[in-house]
Structure 1
Amino acid sequence: MVMSVRMAPPLPLIFLLVIHGVSSADWGVSYGHSHICALKDSSVIMSCNYTYPTEYQIRKVFWTRNPVKVGEEYPDLSKDPEHSQRLQYLGDKQKNCTLRLSHVTQKDSHEYYFSVIADKPDLSSLIKYFTTAEDNVKWIGAPGVSLTVTDLQVESPERVTEGDSVRLTCKSSCALTDRATFIWYRKNSQPLTERRDRNNQLLLQSVRREDAGRYSCALQEHTYISPAVQLSVTYPPKSVSVSVNGSGVIVEGDSVTLSCSSDSNPPAEISWFKEKRFLGSGRIYSISNISSDHSG
Structure 2
Amino acid sequence: MSVGETVVAMVMSVRMVSPLPLIFLLMIHGVSSADWGVSYSHSHICALKDSSVIMSCTYTYPTGYQINKVFWTKTNVGEFPDLFEDPEYSQRLQYLGDKQQNCTIRLNHVTLKDSLEYSFRFTTNVTEGRWIGKPGVSLTVTDLQVESPERVTEGDSVRLTCKSSCTLTDRATFIWYRNSQPLTERRDRNNELLLLSVRREDAGRYSCALHGHTYISPAVHLNVMYPPKDISVSISPSAELVEGDSATLICSSDSNPPAEISWFKENQSSSVGSGQSFSALQSGRFYCEAHNQHGSQRSDAVTVTVKDAPQRVSVSISPSGEIVEGDSVTLTCSSDSNPPAEISWFKGRKFVASGRIYSISKISSDHSGEYKCKSRNKHGEKYSDAVTLNVLYPPRNVSVFINGFGEIVEGDSVTLTCSSDSNPPAEISWFKGRKFVASGRIYSISKISSDHSGEYKCKSINKHGEKYSDAVTLNIMYPPRNVSVYINGSGEITEGDSVTLICSSDSNPPALNFSWFKEDESSSVGSRQSFSALQSGRFYCEAHNQHGSQRSDAVTVTVKGRLVILYMSIGVVGGAAVIITMLLIR
Q: Look up the match of 1:106.
A: 112
Give aligned pairs, total.
261
Identical positions, percent: 75
Q: Look up the match of 1:144.
A: 136
Q: Look up the match of 2:271.
A: 278
Q: Look up the match of 1:30.
A: 39
TM-score (norm 1): 0.81
Tell me, in whole angstroms, the C-alpha distance in 1 between the residues paired with 2:27 and 2:140.
Answer: 45
CA deviation after TM superposition for structure 1 residue 283, in Å? 1.2
CA contact (8 A) 1:184 1:217 kept: yes
Tell me, in whole angstroms, the C-alpha distance in 2 between the residues paired with 1:273 and 1:145.
Answer: 73
Q: Look up the match of 1:132.
A: none
Question: Is 1:44–2:58 an aligned residue pair?
Answer: no
Going from structure 1 to structure 2, the CA distance change for 1:176 and 1:21 (only over 3 Å counts) comes to farther
Tell me, in whole angstroms, the C-alpha distance in 2 between the residues paired with 1:277 and 1:248.
Answer: 22
CA contact (8 A) 1:156 1:168 kept: yes
Going from structure 1 to structure 2, the CA distance change for 1:278 and 1:248 (only over 3 Å counts) comes to closer
Going from structure 1 to structure 2, the CA distance change for 1:19 and 1:265 (only over 3 Å counts) comes to closer
User: What SS does structure 1 have at the residue aligned with 2:87?
Assistant: coil
Going from structure 1 to structure 2, the CA distance change for 1:273 and 1:90 (only over 3 Å counts) comes to same
- Residue pairs, 1:1-296, within 5 angstroms: 22-68=31-77, 72-120=78-126, 135-187=127-179, 189-193=180-184, 199-247=190-238, 249-274=240-265, 275-288=268-281, 293=312
CA deviation after TM superposition for structure 1 residue 212, in Å? 0.8
Structure 1, unaligned runs of 5 or more? 1-16, 121-134
CA deviation after TM superposition for structure 1 residue 194, in Å? 5.2
Tell me, in whole angstroms, the C-alpha distance in 1 between the residues paired with 2:144 and 2:221.
Answer: 15
CA deviation after TM superposition for structure 1 residue 171, in Å? 0.9
Going from structure 1 to structure 2, the CA distance change for 1:219 and 1:21 (only over 3 Å counts) comes to farther
CA deviation after TM superposition for structure 1 residue 197, in Å? 6.3
User: What SS does structure 2 have at the residue aligned with 1:143?
Assistant: coil
TM-score (norm 2): 0.42
Going from structure 1 to structure 2, the CA distance change for 1:247 and 1:256 (only over 3 Å counts) comes to closer
CA contact (8 A) 1:67 1:75 kept: no
CA contact (8 A) 2:37 2:131 kept: no
CA contact (8 A) 1:257 1:286 kept: yes
The two structures, once aligned, show a CA RMSD in angstroms of 2.3
Using CA pairs below 8 Å that are at least 6 residues apart, which structure has the higher relative contact order? 1
User: What SS does structure 2 have at the residue aligned with 1:225?
Assistant: coil
Going from structure 1 to structure 2, the CA distance change for 1:19 and 1:251 (only over 3 Å counts) comes to closer
Which one-letter code corresponds to 1:175 in the other structure?
T
CA deviation after TM superposition for structure 1 residue 152, in Å? 0.9
Tell me, in whole angstroms, the C-alpha distance in 1 between the residues paired with 2:257 and 2:87.
Answer: 53
Which stretch shows the higher mean deviation, 36-45 or 279-288? Answer: 279-288
Deviation string 1:16-72 (CA, Å, 9 cap, x unpaired) is x9788613343122211111110111000111122222242221211111255xxx3
CA contact (8 A) 2:185 2:193 kept: no
Which one-letter code corresponds to 1:23 in the other structure?
S
Q: Look up the match of 1:128.
A: none
Q: Look up the match of 1:8.
A: none
Q: Look up the match of 1:127.
A: none
CA deviation after TM superposition for structure 1 residue 224, in Å? 0.7
Going from structure 1 to structure 2, the CA distance change for 1:232 and 1:137 (only over 3 Å counts) comes to same
CA contact (8 A) 1:183 1:195 kept: no
Tell me, in whole angstroms, the C-alpha distance in 2 between the residues paired with 1:277 and 1:82.
Answer: 72
CA deviation after TM superposition for structure 1 residue 165, in Å? 1.0
Going from structure 1 to structure 2, the CA distance change for 1:46 and 1:21 (only over 3 Å counts) comes to farther
Structure 2, unaligned runs of 5 or more? 1-25, 283-305, 313-335, 338-586
Which one-letter code corresponds to 1:286 in the other structure?
S
Which one-letter code corresponds to 1:183 in the other structure?
I
CA contact (8 A) 2:54 2:104 kept: yes
CA contact (8 A) 1:184 1:216 kept: yes
User: What SS does structure 1 have at the residue aligned with 2:123?
Assistant: strand
Going from structure 1 to structure 2, the CA distance change for 1:152 and 1:80 (only over 3 Å counts) comes to same
Deviation string 1:74-107 (CA, Å, 9 cap, x unpaired) is 1111222211121111112222211111111112
CA contact (8 A) 1:27 1:51 kept: yes
Higher strand share: 2
User: What SS does structure 2 have at the residue aligned with 1:78?
Assistant: helix
Which one-letter code corresponds to 1:253 in the other structure?
G
Tell me, in whole angstroms, the C-alpha distance in 1 between the residues paired with 2:222 and 2:88.
Answer: 39
Tell me, in whole angstroms, the C-alpha distance in 2 between the residues paired with 1:23 and 1:100.
Answer: 31
Tell me, in whole angstroms, the C-alpha distance in 1 between the residues paired with 2:129 and 2:190.
Answer: 48
CA contact (8 A) 1:209 1:234 kept: yes
User: What SS does structure 2 have at the residue aligned with 1:50?
Assistant: strand
Tell me, in whole angstroms, the C-alpha distance in 1 between the residues paired with 2:189 and 2:59.
Answer: 35
Which one-letter code corresponds to 1:166 in the other structure?
V
Deviation string 1:90-147 (CA, Å, 9 cap, x unpaired) is 1122222111111111121111001110133xxxxxxxxxxxxxx3322110000011
CA deviation after TM superposition for structure 1 residue 168, in Å? 0.8
